[in-house]
A and B are shown apart, each in its own frame.
Chain A
């Protein structure tokens, strides 16, 4: 009966009722649209936070350039090259400034060399060859000097082979005496440049250059070169009776193990987070089996590792297996790929000998559980690529500075060796603070996979959703107040008559509110459903699929890729929630008005009506 009469009386003022229903519907539409957009943006943002990582790389830049000269024995002249000049080495500590909010602190990482015996079984190479030779004539090796190989300590040569040797870069070479035996390290340098008298040697015979494999490149942790007198002497020796019992002879025996070291070394990269390594960050390598090293494992220094599938195949290892890594040198100067190129080959710009002339001894040996095997999709560019057989381990797995006596190379901070992670969307804030430090000669490059642009888009969307939400809320309250006044406060006579006819206050409230709430409910349901559908349609049409650039475009314009992120679906529960919320607001506001109207006793109500 209450429902019947309440609705009857509402519907007998159709214009007002329709207007109320319509406006409530519009409010619910805006609320559902705004709420869903906001929720989608918020959820999207949370998802993006998981997907995106913002990393910075640090490179000490050159302060100028200088001309460097090299003697070219072939051209009989110096050749000049322009090279960069770097100032004093800047420590990573300068990046630890106040206000710097790091998720992973900047660190100039070395990579370690691990000796793995099973890695290679070959005949040796035509570079870093250690041989005993005897010249066929007494001469200065300022041209292709014919020498006969007497003994091969290491390398792809045979005894009695003839080689042409030139001290190609030495403007003042010594004389080699025919009949004497010399030990030296040789590397091929390409085509023969001929003798000074113009006599051509055998066609297609290549020339060897004497290299300085006997010299150590050891450094201290502070980046100081450890003194080695071998660096000041000749890079070859005459072999006489009992030579190998001497210190110098022992050093040459050590030199003869360098090819072996190179062939059996896998680079091991200790790091604080996998994404700090550019090949992983750029998805040039993907974990195809197992999983990534977890944040907890990184922090606790758990003995776990990631290895490439090629190494797993070679060593017949699979997930869960242990890999023993005897670490014997640390290299701060190069990235793994500089020495062990993922493309094959590589080059050695340091020595495996320490300042005492010995091969570095193992400073740490532990078993690492293989938790992930990765596949190389792209070997990357320059030093930012992945190294051959590169293993990744947590930084904390190796005792800090345990490699201090095994540093084979050291250099300035480079982008490929120094990186850090900051919270997404804080690049500008970081740079503002960094700029205030006034430190020059350090270039910080950020990579955020386009998060900054995406975030801006999402923030615009959130602002728009807030406008919808706020306008929906304001509109709802105004509409509810207006219509509560019209349907309740303006219905004094109806209330008075109902009380007069013996209705209790509660019955009276029900009678008046039922119609209002039924219309409000209908408007809310329709409006919020329309809002939800509109959000769904808009989301589908606009950008269900967001394509974005992988680089922080203000700084990087090359080598970028596209990635896709999918927006979450609009949530029908949220739309129902906004509709429900509107209904609750309608109930609260109309109940308050009703309570106020019922405060007067019927006698007072009638009295005031009679006066009117």
Chain B
């Protein structure tokens, strides 16, 4: 089922000296139950493209439709709260909250009662392979792989079925990298998530259902695998 439709979007970075077109007239669609890998060299515009999909900013031209609604016309904060979650290479967890609390956080933002949020957080963390004492640990006490699992668990806990990941394995060793990719594929195939991963890791790209390639801000290829 098509969830996201990108229509001819462009994005410009501007400063007082120059204007750089980071994304140039990109059009594509994303469906539920699939994992997409957006690849490209550094500076190709893939991370910017992902941020636009996350509603962190608006395209200068074109539009992004989520379930048929123009992202520019809806509350993008609410969109990120309820529908789309982002996982970054740098994890971006709250350093002063435990793993458990980090996962509970987006649920409480949605007004889910603390008890229910707690149970769901435990469930999500167990799903990504974390349990026991790990739940009470602060991010700094955890390995990179564990932190990224917490970040994914947090994305899952939010309840939205759009998961955007920007180089999610960039800071991980190969063993952890495999585990994370498996986890993301599982979410796409078993839980009907749209998983969009920005990466230049060929291993991840190879494992994705759809491989997309960007160059100089343009989407130069989209391959079903």
Contacts and interface: CB of A to CB of B under 8 A. Distances in A.
Contacts of A5: 97, 101, 105, 108
A9 B98 CA distance: 10
B96 A1 contact: no
> How many A residues touch the partner, as a band?
20 to 34
Contacts of A497: 92-94
B213 interface: no
A503 B109 contact: yes
A601 B54 CA distance: 13
Given A500-B56, A501-B80, A603-B56, A13 B96 contact: yes
Nearest to A12: B96
B90 interface: yes
Contact of B101 (A8, A493, A602): A8
B57 A603 contact: yes
B56 A610 contact: no
B86 interface: yes
Interface string A487-519: 000000110110111111000000000000000
B90 to A, nearest CB: 6
A152 interface: no
B193 to A, nearest CB: 17
A90 interface: no
Contact of A610 (B57, B81, B82, B90): B90
B89 interface: yes
A463 interface: no
Interface string B148-166: 0000001000100000000
Nearest to B50: A603
A603 B23 CA distance: 14
Interface in B17-53: 47-48, 51
Contacts of B88: 606, 610
B60 interface: no
B12 to A, nearest CB: 13
A501 B81 contact: yes
A538 to B, nearest CB: 41
A85 interface: no
Contacts of A503: 77, 81, 109
B109 A606 contact: no
B95 interface: yes
A609 interface: yes
Given A5-B97, A493-B92, A494-B94, A501 B106 contact: yes
B49 to A, nearest CB: 11
A606 B105 contact: no
Contact of A502 (B82, B92, B94): B82
Among A493, A496, A501, the one with the most B-chain Cβ atoms within 10 Å of its Cβ is: A501
Contacts of B80: 500-502
A497 B105 CA distance: 11
Name A's interface SS: helix
A602 B94 contact: no
A502 B95 CA distance: 18
A8 B100 CA distance: 14
A500 B90 contact: no
B150 to A, nearest CB: 12
A503 B109 CA distance: 8
Contacts of B82: 502
A497 B56 CA distance: 11
Given A8-B101, A601-B56, A500 B109 contact: no
Nearest to A604: B57
Among A12, A602, A603, A606, the one with the most B-chain Cβ atoms within 10 Å of its Cβ is: A603
B78 interface: yes
A258 B89 CA distance: 119
Contacts of B81: 501-503
Contacts of B95: 493-494
Interface in A6-54: 8-9, 12-13
B51 A603 contact: yes
A12 B141 CA distance: 14
Given A501-B106, A601-B57, A610 B89 contact: yes
Contacts of B97: 5, 8-9, 12
B106 A502 contact: yes
Given A9-B97, A496-B92, A610-B88, A501 B109 contact: yes
A608 to B, nearest CB: 11
Among B48, B90, B96, B154, the one with the most A-chain Cβ atoms within 10 Å of its Cβ is: B96
Among B56, B78, B90, B105, the one with the most A-chain Cβ atoms within 10 Å of its Cβ is: B56
A609 B69 CA distance: 30
A497 B96 CA distance: 13
Contacts of B89: 610
A601 B89 CA distance: 19
A463 B57 CA distance: 56
A318 B134 CA distance: 96
A609 B96 contact: no
Interface in B166-209: none
A8 to B, nearest CB: 7
Given A8-B101, A500-B86, A502-B78, A606 B108 contact: no
Given A493-B92, A494-B94, 7 more contacts: A8-B101, A500-B56, A503-B109, A601-B56, A603-B48, A610-B47, A610-B89
19 contacts: A5-B105, A5-B108, A8-B96, A8-B101, A12-B96, A494-B94, A496-B92, A497-B94, A499-B77, A501-B154, A501-B158, A502-B81, A502-B158, A503-B81, A602-B56, A603-B56, A603-B57, A606-B92, A610-B88
Interface of B: 47-48, 51, 54, 56-57, 77-82, 86, 88-90, 92-97, 101, 105-106, 108-109, 154, 158
Ranked 7 nearest A-B pairs via Cβ: A502-B81, A502-B80, A603-B56, A12-B96, A9-B96, A603-B57, A602-B56
